[in-house]
Structure 1
Amino acid sequence: MTDDLAARAAIVELGSAPGPVLHLLTLGATMQRLEVACGDGRRRDVLVGLPGARELLGSSDYLGGTIGRYANRIAHGRFELDGEEVSVRTNDRGHSLHAGPDGFDRRLWDVADKDESSATLRLVSPDGDQGFPGEVTAHARFTVEADRVTLDLGATTTRPTVVNMTSHAYFNLDGAGTVDDHLLQVPASSYTPVDEGSIPLGDHAPVDGTPFDLRVARPVGEVVREPHEQVVAARGIDHNLVVDGSGLRRVARLESPRSRTAMEVWSDQPGLQVYTGNFLSGAVLGRSGRLLRPADGIALEPQLHPDSPNHPEWPSATLRPGEAYRARIEWRFSATV
């Protein structure tokens, strides 16, 4: 089955120099390669990825994939929906991570339409897929412009269900090495503390006095080496930050002093999962020909808060027939001095 999926996967190329050039894989609607003009005058591939579909199917690191039905974790793979308990497949310490062992990132998506600068990929997830109710039709539309890449995510359902989609792209604005010297800024006044299984301990907590206070830009390597119990337990940052404001807004800024390049992440989602590649174990060979290790890239994943189906006080993940789920992510690139 793995060989068949890998053989059927296709590459979709969008954009042209001097603007961004994006390579997508129809397996997982995966952002495999993104070449941009950097501030030092060079063009670089700023995505950390794998050579092809076969390698993606052999990995559990979600490198560049479009995540669904439910990004992040659902505690014990259980939640209540309209008074009935729903059980979904688990794959991470007894919990459901990114919708279970066979999420959207491991499926072949159809190319619904394409032109030189944009493409819409479409996926139908059957009723009961990984335990989730309802047949869900999902789409991911990628658009490349002069200074940015936009991802519009959407879904509809035939029965009440939960949907929370995102992109699991890992970025390195130097194209090689680590992101330790990258400066990260996130306008979030609170974050979500988690237990040893990365499940929320309760409500959100203020970032004041913690490594999660990224309201002023800090080097990634400095943050992940702080002796805070949440950082130690996660072996870095793998946490949801509750981004200030609402609607489409800047949710993160990443800057490399080396390549003199900045990337702003814009989104309309309430949370941002910041993940510093803590479980990149050195067992997988990246597209660069190097073994991938922690801090080789950073994932900045706009989404609903983790385990939202079990937290009715947080923005809801429930999607009903006749409604449309929508989420937007923009990656905006610029040169720095």
Structure 2
Amino acid sequence: MPHPVALDPAAFRTEVDGKPTDLHTLTGDGGVSVDLTDYGARIVRILAPDRDGVPGDVVLGYDNIRSVMDGQASMGAFIGRFANRIADGRFTLDGVEHQLARNGGAHHIHGGVKGSRFRVFDSERLGPGAVRMSLTYADGEEGYPGELRSAVTYRLDGDTLRMEYEAVTDRRTIVNFTGHAYFNLAGAGTILDHVLTMNARAFTPTDATAIPTGEIRPVAGTPFDFTTPHRIGERIDADDEQIRFGSGYDHNMVIDKPPGAFGPVATVEEPVSGRLLEVSSSEPGAQLHSGNFLTGVAPRDVGRGGVPFVRRGGLCIEPQRFPDAPNHPNFPSTVLDPGETFRGVIAYRFGVR
């Protein structure tokens, strides 16, 4: 693993749309540290020890704010106001059709042209191990109904990073949040030898444009069966229509737990370093994405210390509601009413085996 690159807080200080950005470092007593920027409320870096206690960089990222802004748009970001895709950028709520920005081909993705990944959050330090980041979306912004006031708190507790998020609205709307870190527990190269286990006996297949068909399909007998441990690269190029559609894994997995309950999502192990990542959340699904479109080409896909983000060089496990949920009545609801509070939690625990 490459030696961790020192981060200069001054390199993350600028002004975007009249709002200042900075670097926030969370420290705890578990040997893990986390660096964040207000731009996109995103994870910049996570250092976690290997089995010998040596700290290493376990998420992809950049070493200055300009590279962040010019780089992979979703890398490390907190995604809102609706994570993932909405078909044709359209949904109907209470008999009214809403047309959203089409910023992902024919579809809407990750909140639109000025979704949260392109916005500067207001930040409040809550101590050495926590920071709260807030963002308000205007009524009608990107085509969504309702003013939505949201916040995410990053909290480092020992070896666990928790993302605790919430939102309220003044008008009936839809909401879906997630975290979009690209993990590589080896720090470089591909994630094909990482070993993955997922608490998911079903997934939502898509059409050729990554929009769910509405089917909830058992993973048994498919390359999506990670109910027992498998190398990520073991079946990533299988002769399977869904694998071809995603150029590998890029699908929503249906997590086995009661609705709204906080529970296990996935475990990832990197055999050489011994590093282990356990993902838990309160969400019913998790997008499994194997970094199929990373290229290793500068400037977008070269990160700290000149390390390239090669194809399949990062693994995203994005707990969330299902993609295109507003257009599929059989999917868990994403509707938020005035007077209610949308709440969710994602937790990443780092360990060794």
- Does structure 2 retain, via aligned residues, the 8 Å contact 1:18–1:37? no
Give the superposition deviation at 1:176: 1.6
* Alignment size in residue pairs: 335
**Structure 1 gaps, min length 5:** none
Which of these residues, 281, 291, 310, is aligned with residue 327 of structure 2? 310
1:6–1:286 Cα change, 3 Å: farther
- Does structure 1 retain, via aligned residues, the 8 Å contact 2:189–2:310? no
1:201–1:118 Cα change, 3 Å: same
Q: State the distance in 2 between where 1:5 and 1:332 align.
A: 34
Runs of 4+ off more than 4 Å:
none
2:285 matches 1:268: no
1:334–1:4 Cα change, 3 Å: closer
- Does structure 1 retain, via aligned residues, the 8 Å contact 2:188–2:307? no
Q: State the distance in 2 between where 1:196 and 1:122 align.
A: 35
Deviations 1:139-179 (A, max 9, x none): 01011011110000111111111110000011111112211
- Does structure 1 retain, via aligned residues, the 8 Å contact 2:28–2:157? no
Q: State the distance in 2 between where 1:144 and 1:158 align.
A: 32
1:252–1:18 Cα change, 3 Å: closer
2:37 matches 1:22: no
Instruction: State the match for 1:145 in structure 2.
Output: 157
**Structure 2 gaps, min length 5:** 1-13
Question: What is the RMSD of the two structures over their aligned residues, measured on CA atoms?
Answer: 1.6
Which of these residues, 301, 320, 326, is aligned with residue 337 of structure 2? 320
Q: State the distance in 1 between where 2:306 and 2:235 align.
A: 27
Which deviates further from its counterpart, 216-225 or 55-64? 55-64
Q: State the distance in 2 between where 1:268 and 1:204 align.
A: 19
Q: State the distance in 2 between where 1:104 and 1:219 align.
A: 33
Deviations 1:221-246 (A, max 9, x none): 11312221111221110000101112
State the one-letter code of the partner of 1:255.
E
2:302 matches 1:285: yes
1:6–1:28 Cα change, 3 Å: farther
Give the superposition deviation at 1:275: 0.4
- Does structure 1 retain, via aligned residues, the 8 Å contact 2:28–2:158? no
- Does structure 1 retain, via aligned residues, the 8 Å contact 2:130–2:154? yes
Deviations 1:252-294 (A, max 9, x none): 0000101101110001110010001111123321124123222
Secondary structure of the 1:13 match is: strand
Which deviates further from its counterpart, 223-232 or 126-135? 223-232
Instruction: State the match for 1:87 in structure 2.
Output: 99
Q: State the distance in 1 between where 2:240 and 2:97 align.
A: 36
TM-score, L = length of structure 1: 0.96
Deviations 1:198-227 (A, max 9, x none): 001221111111110110111111131222
Instruction: State the match for 1:196 in structure 2.
Output: 208
Give the superposition deviation at 1:61: 4.1
